[in-house]
Amino acid sequence: MKTLNVAIIGYKFMGKAHSNAWLQAARFFDLGVKLNLKLACGRDEAAVQKFADNWGWEEIETDWRKVVSRDDIDVVDISLPQHLHYEVALEAAKQGKHIFCEKPMCFTVEQALEMLAAAEKSGIVHYLNHNYRRTPAVQLARQLIDQQKVGKIFHWRCAYQQDWIVDPDFPLTWHLQKETAHAGPQWDLNSHSVDLARFLVGEIQSVTCLTSNFITRRPLAGAGAATFSSGTANSEEMGEVTVEDAALMMVQFEQGAIGSFEATRFATGCKNHLTFEIYGSKGSMRFNLERMNELEFYSLEDDGENQGFRTIMVTEHSHPYISHWWPPGHIIGYEHGFVHAVADFISAIHTGTKIEPNFEDGLKCITVLDAGLQSAASGSQVKLTH
């Protein structure tokens, strides 16, 4: 059996989620190849060694360029903050490594075009980790749409709401600075939402967007400050927040539907609250990531006296991915979308096929997000060309 050597670059929140997926995929899915967790890379040698020891990576490295140039590395997993994706992905593609890349893809449409061109030129398998596509309930939603159970789609409503920076004393982490995040929730959170919209409804042809800031200055970050974590206080020195705190986006889809997107980290009480609603000529669907094993479905084909939203528990073995896990009724969780992504990614490498979403999908997503920022800056609608 062929062995694929995997290297991961980045070892914090996403590094842990990805490492778990690499470990579990081979245990629950027949991949057709053997996975070897060869190398973990990060700038802090002591921290990355601790990470590698915990997750079973054989070696460590502190220079990502050495990693992507090694002949014994087949797959590069980019688990870094988004401002680092572009350079690493370009070099990994040039070196002929298959790429498993965390989202958002990059900062600009121009960078996305370069990343796609480099990946296509090298003939590698490239994957962008919008892992919510691989939630069984979302896959079931797509099946129902394909089966015309919803009919012609009229409306898409989506909100991605978190609350981890409501406290004005939360520090100025990299997420709140344009040079390292490019934008706020419009980029980070709405990237997931736009990917889901494209997957379930179709391409977007025009965008109108409003953004806002609620807290413009924050304490500088100290040790341990990271995603969802304030760490220890640095000092009383303050810095400017240079990205938006919230975004509201309205869109027109090419197939005629209209849609709305809300993205915020100021929705008090919402920890990771991603919801979408789809309303069509034959039925409707509603999904809540915090209840990810459920899909609400309404059908006009039901008898009138029996019509109403019903909750489908998406845990039957006939549902997407579920046969690889537990008996019906035994729920799965957040980490399983990453496992499904790794399994599908390795299958694509093994069979020589493409996987979605890939860098082409990432380019289309970045185009929509960038149009949103342009619209917010200009106060006018932005029309897209694909």
Interatomic CA distance for residues 226 and 277, integer angstroms? 31
Identify the band that residue 303 occupies on the pLDDT scale cut at 50, 70 and 90.
very high
137, 287 contact by CB (below 8 A) = yes
For residues 312 and 164, state if they share a domain: yes
Residue with tokens 């991605």: 160
Ranges of H-type helices in the chain: 13-28, 45-55, 64-68, 85-94, 109-122, 136-146, 178-181, 185-200, 334-351, 359-378
Identify the band that residue 47 occupies on the pLDDT scale cut at 50, 70 and 90.
very high
Residue 351 domain flag: no
- Residue 67 backbone phi and psi in degrees, to 5: -65, -55
To the nearest whole percent, how much of the chain has pLDDT over 70?
97
For residues 95 and 172, state if they share a domain: no
Whether the bond into 171 is cis, omega within 30 of 0: no
pLDDT of residue 233: 55
Residue 326 domain flag: yes
Residue 68 domain flag: yes
Identify the band that residue 224 occupies on the pLDDT scale cut at 50, 70 and 90.
low
CA proximity to 312, closest of 153, 131, 140: 140
Q: In what order do the strands lie in the sheet with 258-264?
A: 310-313, 294-299, 283-288, 273-280, 153-161, 258-264, 246-253, 204-212, 382-383
For residues 55 and 160, state if they share a domain: no
Identify the band that residue 379 occupies on the pLDDT scale cut at 50, 70 and 90.
very high
Task: Examine the fold and report which residue of 82, 106, 124 is the final residue of a domain before the chain moves on.
Answer: 124
Which CATH number characterizes residue 216's domain? 3.30.360.10
What average pLDDT score do residues 328-332 get? Answer: 97
What average pLDDT score do residues 70-83 get? Answer: 97
In a 13 Å sphere around the CA of 303, the CA atoms on its Cβ side amount to 2
3-state helix, strand, coil in the chain (%, to 5): 35, 25, 35
89, 63 contact by CB (below 8 A) = no
CA proximity to 228, closest of 9, 51, 10, 13: 13
Residue 221 domain flag: yes
To the nearest whole percent, how much of the chain has pLDDT over 90?
94
pTM score, two decimals? 0.96
For residues 172 and 319, state if they share a domain: yes
Q: Which domain holds residue 314?
A: 133-332+365-378
Question: Beta partners for 100?
Answer: 77, 127
Question: Beta partners for 207?
Answer: 251, 382
Whole-angstrom Cα Rg for the chain: 21
Q: Which two tokens stand for residue 332?
A: 């799965």
For residues 49 and 155, state if they share a domain: no
pLDDT of residue 226: 65
Task: Examine the fold and report which residue of 65, 91, 124 is the final residue of a domain before the chain moves on.
Answer: 124
For residues 278 and 372, state if they share a domain: yes
Number of structural domains in the chain: 2
- pLDDT tens, residue by residue, 334-377: 999 999 999 999 999 999 999 999 999 999 999 999 999 999 99
pLDDT of residue 61: 98
Instruction: Check whether 304 has a pLDDT greater than 90.
Output: no
First to last CA, the chain: 41
- pLDDT tens, residue by residue, 176-200: 999 999 999 999 999 999 999 999 9
Which CATH number characterizes residue 87's domain? 3.40.50.720
In a 13 Å sphere around the CA of 317, the CA atoms on its Cβ side amount to 5
pLDDT of residue 5: 98
- pLDDT tens, residue by residue, 117-155: 999 999 999 999 999 999 999 999 999 999 999 999 999
Q: Sign of torsion, CA 180 266 167 17?
A: negative
Residue 359 domain flag: no
For residues 87 and 146, state if they share a domain: no
For residues 141 and 109, state if they share a domain: no
- Residue 314 backbone phi and psi in degrees, to 5: -90, 70
pLDDT of residue 232: 64
For residues 225 and 119, state if they share a domain: no
For residues 163 and 236, state if they share a domain: yes
- pLDDT tens, residue by residue, 208-223: 999 999 999 999 987 7
Rounded to the nearest integer, the mean pLDDT of the chain is 96
Instruction: Check whether 234 has a pLDDT greater than 60.
Output: no
CA proximity to 226, closest of 185, 176, 187: 176
